[in-house]
Structure 1
Amino acid sequence: MSRSLIIAIDGPAASGKGTLARRLADYYHLPHLDTGLTYRAVAHMLLTKGWPLDDEAHAIEAARLVDLGHLDREGLSAHTVADAASRVAVIAEVRRILVDKQRAFADRDGGAVLDGRDIGTVVCPEAEVKLYVTASAEVRAMRRLRDIEGRGGKADFDEILSDIKLRDERDMGRTDSPLKPAADAHLLDTSEMSIETAFIAAKAIIDDAIAKRSEI
């Protein structure tokens, strides 16, 4: 790759976009940022300090303190943090601060892989490759249930399904940077795909974009 390659991956919760993004970043030797973790970091700080999630002043302060170089995926994986993150994500100034940091991450020699909910539409609208990864709510709920059980936890499928639908509604319905595919995004419905199948499909799209560089 002779110039920077930015791969923007968007999609709803438990669609498989994060796993796919990490696979692609490893394959193309690019740094990866799960932008959802930046919002989780804000939410985690609010919860830790006992600040209300709707306290905009403290949420903004927390957003300014988020360090993209120190995002603990394991520590930010709790369900309560994920739910809280979708609530603080509707605060416009929080989004502005974090989007600036996300753009700075993408703006580096060689490029990067970023996944989230508004990468192709807001954070990196000029990304060379945009993917929108989705799956049915039922499939995503089952994946989340298996993940929880795989880590030794217990959960109720119907509660997870209800939560996923609520998060979808919140993410897609917010006024600022709603979750939606970019006009030029490639759609990957992973409802009946394994991660390997999704990876092969995404790789074909990216390789085609890279090959077309030589034709310009």
Structure 2
Amino acid sequence: MRKITIAIDGYSSTGKSTVAKRLAKALGYVYVDTGAMYRAVTLFALRNGYVGGAEDNFDALVASLSEIDLRFRPNAETGQSDIYLNGENVEREIRTLEVSKYVSQVATLEAVRHKLVEMQQKMGAEKGLVMDGRDIGTVVFPDAELKIFMTASPETRAQRRFDELRQRGEQVTFDEVLKNVRQRDHIDSTRKVSPLQKAEEAIEFDNSNLGLEEQFEAIHNYALDVISGQDKKKDAR
């Protein structure tokens, strides 16, 4: 059976990573969470005072990019892969609201995107890969055989994110999370370098009213259709 590249793009908190991980496992493919890569760079920037202080110093961050090493390593307990920043497992720390506040700003930097896109393209050189992010189908893998663009209402996404953060013990309010979701949407969609946009041939997948099982089954079927040569491009609304 031939191997393909699957690109899953979309807005924050649409469940891209959750579906992508499960899809990769079902197909026996490699999964790459590009959002985790940008979050790890943002964590690096926060730790070094390049963002989050009285004044952002993006020039210093760009000058320090050569100091950043990102690796995905399997987690025996979860059966998934965690991201390591310079040898340290930061999978949990990158998911905080503090990192979420700055990740879209860091992701607008051309030098950051160039560095990570280059890394991502190397990861997918041999196909058999599921990658999710903001510009996978438009920039990283414009020739991907299957492209999905996931969306949901801001309120639905904020509720999902709020529940996730509270389960992790973070003291946040729903209004804080909703504000962050809307801010990230604006920054992601209006940045000059690789803005978030639906690739022309991508399947639009609105999961506002879908459970995890329904989402997975639909996208899994799309993938099987493409792999078998029975591609059925349509929007899921």
TM-score (norm 1): 0.92
| SS of alignment partner, residue 166 of structure 1 | helix
- In the alignment, what sits opposite 1:55? 58
* Equivalent AA in structure 1 for residue 121 of structure 2: R
- In the alignment, what sits opposite 2:121? 103
Rounded to whole Å, the distance in 1 between the matches of 2:205 and 2:57 is: 34
- 1:175-186 equivalences in 2 (<5 Å): 175-186=192-203
- 1:1-216 equivalences in 2 (<5 Å): 1-2=1-2, 4-52=3-51, 53-62=56-65, 65-69=68-72, 71=83, 72-108=90-126, 110-212=127-229
Alpha-carbon distance change, 165 to 200 in structure 1, aligned in 2, over 3 angstroms: same
Structure 2: segments with no counterpart, 5+ residues: 74-82, 84-89, 232-237
Return the offset for 1:213. Answer: 7.2
- Contact residue 10 and residue 117 of structure 1 kept, 8 A: yes
- Contact residue 22 and residue 32 of structure 1 kept, 8 A: yes
- Contact residue 118 and residue 177 of structure 1 kept, 8 A: yes
- Contact residue 96 and residue 165 of structure 2 kept, 8 A: no
Return the offset for 1:64. Answer: 5.9
Return the offset for 1:77. Answer: 1.0
| SS of alignment partner, residue 69 of structure 1 | strand
Rounded to whole Å, the distance in 1 between the matches of 2:186 and 2:123 is: 28
| SS of alignment partner, residue 150 of structure 2 | strand
Structure 1: segments with no counterpart, 5+ residues: none
* Equivalent AA in structure 2 for residue 169 of structure 1: H
Q: Which is strand-richer, 1 or 2?
A: 2
Q: Which is helix-richer, 1 or 2?
A: 1
- Contact residue 46 and residue 62 of structure 1 kept, 8 A: no
Rounded to whole Å, the distance in 2 between the matches of 1:118 and 1:63 is: 23
Rounded to whole Å, the distance in 2 between the matches of 1:174 and 1:32 is: 26
Return the offset for 1:141. Answer: 0.6
Alpha-carbon distance change, 139 to 125 in structure 1, aligned in 2, over 3 angstroms: same
Alpha-carbon distance change, 36 to 127 in structure 1, aligned in 2, over 3 angstroms: same
- Work out the percentage of aligned pairs sharing the same amino acid: 36
Rounded to whole Å, the distance in 2 between the matches of 1:30 and 1:153 is: 33
TM-score (norm 2): 0.84
| SS of alignment partner, residue 81 of structure 1 | helix
